[in-house]
Structure 1
Amino acid sequence: MTGVAGGAAGPLLLGVRHHGPGSARAVGAVLDAYEPGVVLIEGPPEADAVAAAAGDDGMVPPVALLAHAVDEPGRAAFWPLAEFSPEWVAIRWAVRRGVPVRFIDLPAAHTLAMSEGEQETVPGGTDGGGAAGDADRDPDSGPGSDSGPDPDSGPESASEGGSGVRLDPLAALAEAAGYDDPERWWEDAVEHRRGAAPGADPYEPFVALGEAMAELRAVHGAGGHQRDLVREAHMRLRLREARKEFGDAATAVVCGAWHVPALTQAATVTADRRALKGLPKVKAEVTWVPWTHRRLARRSGYGAGIASPGWYRHLFTAPDRPVERWMTDVAGLLRAQDHQVSSAHLIEAVRLAETLATLRGRPLAGLTETTDAVRSVLCEGSDVPLELIRDRLVVGDVLGEVPEGGPAVPLQRDLARCQRAVRLKPSAAERELDLDLRKETDAARSRLLHRLRLLGIGWGEPARSRSGSTGTFRESWRLRWEPELSVRVAEAGIWGTTVREAATAKARSRAVEPGTALAEITALAELCLLARLPDALPVVMRVLADRAALESDVGHLARALPALVRTLRYGDVRGTDAGALAEVAGGMAERVRVGLPPACAGLDDEGACEMRGHLDAAHQAVNLLARDVPTADGAAAPDAGGAAAPDTEGGAAGNLLDRWRTVLRTLAGRDRVPGLLRGRCARLLLDDGQLADAEAERLVGLALSPGTPPAEAAAWIEGFLAGGGMLLVHDERLLALVDRWLTGVPADAFTDVLPLLRRTFAEYEAGVRRTLGELVRRGPAGEGSRRGSGESAGLPGFGAGLEVRRADAVLETVRLLLGTASAGDGTGAANGSHEREGARV
């Protein structure tokens, strides 16, 4: 007898569901009982050469077989395996006993060669809800991504014939058993089985499941999964080879349950070979890479994903009393987050979960019952801690490991060496990393992360520092290792065998690519300096100088300048020579300065808004450049926040910063320049201390005069006030001018002005808007009271007098903060003593 009825009379056909703990335990029991001479696994045959690595103690699941085209590494596919995957159990069992392991699915050489539409038929189809070997395409290269098809639908090309409606085997069997939920039926029938009864044949469950699938395929045929017919033809050929070599009784096959009837089908060798004839083919390589529980989860878009890998791992590894052990893990997590969970809570939660399972007719409390019990007892009905449990335990942040001696592309080996050298271990959990570049280890970490960014390996992304520091010696990163980054590493291998060599080669190539924008080249120069690539920087600088000399668009120059100036500031901290950039940066800044006035004239609203962004970027860059680097004429620039420098005519004398401020003054008073830009130039001068208060008031008065159209005045206000509202909070004269102008806007023009004003004030923080509203409601203080002191002072946002009783309440806290409180201090002192204490503070 072959296949579906009795292991002794034919090969052991073990139909499983991928990532199923019940299936995994059952497979282990059958292999222990029958001890076959060869184990066949549904997976790419190219993996035969790397199967032995699964027996290494350093191989820690979840891991995945990664297949990629040698000539096009971006074309790749994954075959993930978890600790509770039946295929992983079978591979480990065979390798550790010296039993041959062979993979029998369609070769990766054919899978990767298929067109993008055909590639949607990832190996594994629906195999009882997601079989072993489902390939997960690189998310940026087509199907199998996070936006891909439904995980349990067995994605296939819609052009493969038929109606396009595909059968879900689990749903059909669950409906026949009277279940409305296929997942719940599979858990009750398979996953929650704790082993066969004493003396029972462990192979019997596989016989029953094979017969059920045979009935389904007798009625539905391929069930809409036409690509499976090709794969199954290859499986039968490999099965025949194994049976001929080892015999029927010594052959075990671990495959998706959906394929079991096809492996017993009476098909000739000629017919199977004809089905495989003419398939496209590429040269492919296969290796092991780490995987994560999150990428096993259904929400990740993985074709055979499961919603709860952490729960399934728990079911597989718990030796007994899985519900009690799960509740203990939940309690530990909640207690770590300062939730009050007692032993009584645990006992009640376990009882409730078991009671719910009994009421629902389930053999064991499943994830649904335990979740309901946890929500009710441990979380007191709240879903907030429940989301934490789902994230940390139900899914989890487990990241697998692959031993150093395992097969890998040379770049991957060097990356692993670099990670060890800087003591930066990949992790599936997102974490933030703050670096102090004055420390050698942190500087080496920074260089590695920047080199990987240049190669397109996004392990780390720059983040805003939590400390708020803007110093050049600090960096903050957000790190998270995703399995698909292994594809990026393989793809980057074409540039070199080490991270440094590959980053250098790619930087040179990007610099000389035709059509690269000037801003992209300056960003590349910055990245080369951050990554310390001295062999690439001269090439990039030569191209940058040539492009900058030919560029005539002020917007392009202004957009490229900030990255170049930032690069100049890194030299001292990183120990690199950035002097070659100074001449290019200075020349580019001068060209922006000269070309800015004509570029700002005659712009429409959209053009003015875009130019404002360029103006802000160029202003910040010029301030940094003038402060940190001597100008071309040899004069040392003053600090941007220093005293006002005397005006210079046309840049004939003085330094770059003076000449830049002269341009800003020119733009601020030129009528042909849009109001948005004139207002912005006035604000930049005011912030730099180059515009006296009286002059600022005069400019505001002119802009808001009755002769100025309301829309033009509103645009001027938007440019002047953008970037923060503290100017209005502290300068009541300007607030009064804006208030008087706004109240005088005609009714027919107010609706046109309102959107501009709302956009301006929406940028302010809530506290600033509240203070401004209070000031407008009360009316700005008069000139005399504003300069007063003591109780008569009219402070922005506050009343005219001091409420002594309310002030008394904070003095004790102030003394504690200042360290002046003594053991005998009390809070009942007389008002006079409090006032004296307050005066000293």
Structure 2
Amino acid sequence: MTSPEVALLGIRHHGPGSARAVAAALAQWRPDAVLIEGPPEADAIVHLAAEKDLVPPVALLAHAVDDPAKAAFWPYAEFSPEWVAIRHAVDHDLPVRFIDLPAAYGFAPAEPVDPAVLAEDGEACDAEENDAEEAGADPVADPLALLAEAAGHDDAERWWEDVVEHRAPGTDALAPFAAVAEAMGALRAEGLGESRRDQLREAYMRQQIRAARRAGHLRIAVVCGAFHVPALERMPTVAHDRALLAGLPKKVRTDITWVPWTHRRLSQATGYGAGVQSPGWYHHLFTTDGDPVPRWLTRAADLLRAEDHPVSSAHVIEAVRLAETLAVLRGRPLAGLTETLDAVRAVLCEGSDVALELVRDRLVVGDALGEVPDAAPAVPLQRDLTRLQRSLRLKPEAAPKDVDLDLRKENDAARSRLLHRLRLLGVDWGVPARSSVNSTGTFRESWRLCWQPEFAVRIAEAAQWGTTVEEAAANKAVGTARAAEELAELTGLVETCLLAGLSGALPAVMRVLADCAALDTDVAHLAGALPALVRALRYGDVRGTDHGALAGAASGLAERICVGLPPACVGLDAEGAATMRGRLDEVHGAIGLLAADPGTAADTAAATAGTAAATADTASDAVPEPDGLAGLADRWAAALGSLARREPAGGPATGAPGLLRGRAVRLLLDDGRLDSEEAGRRLRLVLSVANAPADAAGWVEGFLTGGGALLLHDPRLLALLDEWLTGVGDEVFTDVLPLLRRTFAALEAGVRTTIGGRVAAGPLDELPAVRAEGGELDRARADAAVPVVALLLGIRPTIPRQAAGRDT
């Protein structure tokens, strides 16, 4: 019987030149079995490579059955030598086997080892090999970089392109692999880059080669990383390899499947990437016959023209000439990516790095997304997601895509529910974005969609919660609620349940929320939780959900905030006051929405129709008994009034910070609960010499936050502020300057300019022309402007009876 022969084809992963060389070597060698470096668990699904629906880039995904978070990928592009070998085997109906160390060993729990062994094992294999390594392990030195340095090149990528990627296969297709094996043998002889894990992997590979021989195969082709070739050439004894593998941990039950991959993910050297710097360029090299540079530059010109850059055919011709000339000057056999990009920058982009970055992103890297057939194994949750994507016509794409949804349409509402459910499961396929349509209605949502390959792992992890997206999201919501520690987290979860249409999970989440709210006495927690509940109530009408329980919970939180807010603001430091100021604004908006409930609109309007200043001035610290949403706005105004009067009479610890008192006054003023004269009186008291300048500056900041146009509409306030500021001493002015600068820097540019002009113009204690010479309001001149203002606002003007008949 003829002795079995083995051809060791050492390659660099994801290299088009290596892939072309492997294709030529397999065609010449005509093996009867193909062995490939990869996880043996994939032997059961490698036949799917023959399916027309399995389109690279794709990846093998292996994960532990009991812990899907333990996962590893083995990505393949069309230009990957392993993919070329797989396709050759399935096209010629040859046995194909993966011979690397099983992924099941990599998922096993780490076991204590001797420190000396740990030091030896501390190095991980090359990032391009995508083994199930622990994150953070130091990679070994790239052998090709060492060879490039020995050849006198400072750039390993450029050297490899010249030697391998740009080289066409010769008459003897196996000769290049013999040369690479010799070079790697020299490196291994010096002990460079060899680790304990490499020894284990190579021992397992040798075992699989022996198994192929025992199976009767006579011409065996082995496709593996070039670094491993010397170790596979010299076959030690079987006992030697068995002894090496005896210390492997117990296998972990593992599932494996094919998943789509992207060129952009291939370009990343960390995480689940592959470290290929230019996958789009490599794909072009592998799929283009003849000179690839002119065709690639033509594609670059098409891309730039589509982005409104003036690029003509003459630019392309000149760019080709420049790239070829640069290759000659640099002593390269063919223009590579460096020369091509230099030509693009100089000719097509006219020196613009911005336009060049577009070419790098779209063509050098690219957004290609692979496809996987339905026959590929998948968890039930993944199959349900695939079904929903098809039924909703929401195709996963690697390139970011903005989508506007109209929730009044059934299909768009279903899309919204799917995206919210996936976000709840940790699959951020869609991220809320700013709407491209100028609309403030609650019936519209905007999303930015971008599918990432690692979502396959998150879906496998989420499969523990259910077999469908709806069931898994509902169970995850209930589990998250039971584990929540903060009230705001629970209210946010309630909002998510409503947005995701998880009516089945809502009662359980609401029960946990009610229990947590009853025990939480921190007003800051309550204030942080209320806005999410009110937003949920606001969106409920559009989505057709029942929000009766939400209204009760929201009103209960609002009542407790009204009672506890004033004392909770006493004695806060600067950081605490800033945080509470944000909470104050959020609660104010939330209570405004609650009080504007359609069923109580009439009561709310009646409650706010009277003179508001008296309400704020006479409100005591005790809040009245609740009488429904109709009186909620009044109780909140009373709480703000109480907060506004808590001056630090006995020191900062005895009162509320000026930032919060000023903000409370501004909110009352904006709501019509205070008139401008009362606000001016309070500003005058705060800016008096009896108060600390720092506290006064904080009061001003709170008062002006949200818009400084108030100072333009009421010049008396601006005059008071100007008078106080000019009277502040030099030493104190240095202390309050940062607060004042921060306050006025937040104002609109036009407002700041107008304020500066008015201050420079002179005295600020007089109103503009609508006042008569005696200082009283000139009603005749004011009435003349009423029709124009009414026309601008779209309302029917109300002109006083004494003005009737006057020509306006």
What's the TM-score, normalizing by structure 2?
0.88
- Mapped pair 1:186 → 2:160: yes
Structure-2 separation of matches of 1:136 and 1:315: 30
| 2:790 equivalent in structure 1 | none
- 1:224 deviates by 4.1
- Mapped pair 1:217 → 2:188: yes
| 1:67 equivalent in structure 2 | 62
Change (3 A) 1:562 1:785: closer
Structure-2 separation of matches of 1:21 and 1:209: 16
The amino acid that maps onto 1:14 is: L
Structure-1 separation of matches of 2:605 and 2:42: 66
Structure-2 separation of matches of 1:94 and 1:478: 41
- Mapped pair 1:666 → 2:623: no
Select 1:36's aligned residue among 31, 38, 49: 31
Structure-2 separation of matches of 1:762 and 1:72: 52
Change (3 A) 1:394 1:663: same
Change (3 A) 1:507 1:640: farther
- Give the stretch that moved more between structures: 735-744 or 554-563: 735-744
- Give the stretch that moved more between structures: 730-739 or 115-124: 115-124
SS in 1 for 2:31: coil
Gap runs ≥5 in structure 1: 3-7, 150-154, 157-165, 790-841
Structure-2 separation of matches of 1:383 and 1:100: 50
Change (3 A) 1:639 1:554: farther
- 1:119 deviates by 14
- 1:346 deviates by 0.8
Conservation of the 8 A alpha-carbon contact between 1:19 and 1:84: yes
SS in 2 for 1:570: helix
| 1:820 equivalent in structure 2 | none
The amino acid that maps onto 2:427 is: I
Conservation of the 8 A alpha-carbon contact between 2:465 and 2:471: yes
- 1:298 deviates by 3.9
- Mapped pair 1:177 → 2:151: yes
The amino acid that maps onto 1:666 is: S
Conservation of the 8 A alpha-carbon contact between 2:408 and 2:443: yes
- 1:605 deviates by 2.6
Within a 5 Å distance, the mapping from 1:131-146 to structure 2 comes to 131=128, 133-135=129-131, 143=135
Structure-2 separation of matches of 1:346 and 1:770: 50
- Mapped pair 1:472 → 2:442: yes
- 1:782 deviates by 6.0
Structure-2 separation of matches of 1:640 and 1:286: 66
SS in 2 for 1:180: coil
| 1:699 equivalent in structure 2 | 682
| 1:815 equivalent in structure 2 | none
Structure-2 separation of matches of 1:538 and 1:639: 35
- Give the stretch that moved more between structures: 464-473 or 71-80: 464-473
- Give the stretch that moved more between structures: 65-74 or 727-736: 727-736
- Give the stretch that moved more between structures: 694-703 or 728-737: 728-737
Conservation of the 8 A alpha-carbon contact between 2:49 and 2:90: yes
| 2:667 equivalent in structure 1 | 684
SS in 1 for 2:604: coil
SS in 1 for 2:35: strand
Change (3 A) 1:640 1:223: farther
Structure-2 separation of matches of 1:666 and 1:700: 16
Gap runs ≥5 in structure 2: 113-117, 648-654, 773-808
Change (3 A) 1:24 1:643: farther
Structure-2 separation of matches of 1:120 and 1:677: 61
SS in 1 for 2:447: strand
The amino acid that maps onto 1:395 is: V
Conservation of the 8 A alpha-carbon contact between 1:167 and 1:224: no
SS in 1 for 2:72: strand
| 1:531 equivalent in structure 2 | 500
- 1:751 deviates by 1.4
Conservation of the 8 A alpha-carbon contact between 1:79 and 1:136: no
Conservation of the 8 A alpha-carbon contact between 1:106 and 1:123: no
Conservation of the 8 A alpha-carbon contact between 1:38 and 1:246: no
Within a 5 Å distance, the mapping from 1:7-46 to structure 2 comes to 10-46=5-41
Conservation of the 8 A alpha-carbon contact between 1:643 and 1:689: no
Conservation of the 8 A alpha-carbon contact between 1:21 and 1:313: yes
Select 2:282's aligned residue among 291, 295, 312: 312
- 1:778 deviates by 3.1
| 1:161 equivalent in structure 2 | none
- Give the stretch that moved more between structures: 172-181 or 492-501: 172-181
- 1:407 deviates by 1.2
- Mapped pair 1:456 → 2:426: yes
Change (3 A) 1:401 1:360: same
Change (3 A) 1:777 1:94: farther
| 1:100 equivalent in structure 2 | 95
- 1:421 deviates by 1.5
| 2:125 equivalent in structure 1 | 125
- Mapped pair 1:420 → 2:416: no
Q: For residues 157-206 of structure 1, what are the alpha-carbon distances to aligned partners after superposition, in whole Å with 9 as ceiling and x for unaligned?
A: xxxxxxxxx4431122112322221111110110011332xxx1211111
| 1:835 equivalent in structure 2 | none
Q: For residues 470-503 of structure 1, what are the alpha-carbon distances to aligned partners after superposition, in whole Å with 9 as ceiling and x for unaligned?
A: 4221112222111111110000000011100101
Structure-1 separation of matches of 2:712 and 2:13: 64
- 1:642 deviates by 7.4
Structure-2 separation of matches of 1:438 and 1:780: 56
| 1:737 equivalent in structure 2 | 720
- 1:680 deviates by 0.5
Aligned residues: 749
- 1:219 deviates by 2.0
| 1:322 equivalent in structure 2 | 292
| 1:383 equivalent in structure 2 | 353
Conservation of the 8 A alpha-carbon contact between 2:72 and 2:272: no
| 1:332 equivalent in structure 2 | 302
Structure-2 separation of matches of 1:119 and 1:105: 23
- 1:766 deviates by 3.5
Structure-1 separation of matches of 2:709 and 2:334: 63
Structure-2 separation of matches of 1:301 and 1:778: 62
SS in 2 for 1:785: coil
Select 1:78's aligned residue among 73, 81, 84: 73
- 1:294 deviates by 1.1
Structure-2 separation of matches of 1:638 and 1:105: 75
